[in-house]
Amino acid sequence: MPDVPTALPDKAKVRALIRARGYSISELARKLGRPPASLFAITGRTRPTSVTLLRQVAGALSTRANPVRISDISDWTGDEDESEPETQRLSA
């Protein structure tokens, strides 16, 4: 089984960005097509989280004026993912 890249989310930053964008955790989870428990897990306790989920969260919280990188919301020091901010992949 291949290793899944993970990072530790900065729960305070994630919660603050969710609020700043006008979402509740449940609303953002619905937008991402994720169970609310997956977002409550990264905003309530510090544990390794898949880079895939963090990438989705960063993309959903990004705006043109304020792009969000994975490293902005976690301890990710990854590779090519940091060359450009996450883009909004979901329609509003």
CATH class of 6-77: mainly alpha
How do the domains of the chain map onto residue ranges? 6-77
Model confidence over 66-92: pLDDT tens digits?
Answer: 999 999 999 999 755 444 555 444 444
- Cα separation, 40 vs 60, in Å, equals 16
- Could you count the other beta carbons within 10 Å of the beta carbon of residue 40? 13
- Cα separation, 28 vs 56, in Å, equals 10
Give the residue ranges of DSSP H helices in 9-69: 11-20, 25-32, 36-44, 51-61
**pLDDT at residue number 62:** 95
19: its two tokens: 């609020």
pTM of the predicted structure, to 2 decimals: 0.81
